Structure 1
Amino acid sequence: MIFLLSLFTLLQFNTVIAIDNDLSGKWINEDKTRVLEFTQNSGIYEAIILKAEDNSLIGKKQITGLKKVGTSYKGTLHVIKKNKEMDCTVTIKNTNTIEIKGSYGPVSKSQKWHRQKQ
């Protein structure tokens, strides 16, 4: 009986870890002006803009090449209107919150995003 309970607890814990490490899905920024959809192919994520104040941005790739490095994901953030790219780090805070950090040289900016409810 104790063995089965331990096994059940372990399986639940592993399921939580798998969910916490998955960026796939729709994420909305704190001021609710942008929605990104993260998709994954062979362990590499990208994020496409689904909602933005400027409709010309919809459908464009905001983040590409995100690969797991330690406890975060690292890739490229595309600043589309300025035609620039910067380093990007995405850190999963919990199942429903991530932090996206863009860095260009010594300057960086972070923003929290929340999983959008279906």
Structure 2
Amino acid sequence: MTRHWTPLAVIYLLLAVAGLIGTWTFNVIAIVQMVDFIGDLVSSGPAVSSISVDLMVVAIAGSVFIIVEARRIGMRFGWLYVVASGLTAFAFTFPLFLAMRQRHLTAGRAADTVA
């Protein structure tokens, strides 16, 4: 059996874990403090709004990439990463997708060399 966890896949996976922990730490704080999460994003000044728009555009572009790339290389359930980002964070699901994509590509290469 070949090893599908390449160093690049591990880096993406570590980034996914950091994204999940980092975002959910602040999500839990916001929930406990009963903060208006959406209101804070859009009304805490131009700098926060700028970052919010920046991240939103990146998340949308990344979501399109996930769906298109998953279909292109034959990964099943690519859309699930986009849906999961609404429940967790795009900072988690995008690097997770990249890790699973890397594993998929490595497994495909290994199968090609065996055949």
TM-score bracket for the superposition, by shorter chain length: under 0.3
TM-score (norm 2): 0.25
TM-score (norm 1): 0.25
Structure with bigger helix share is 2
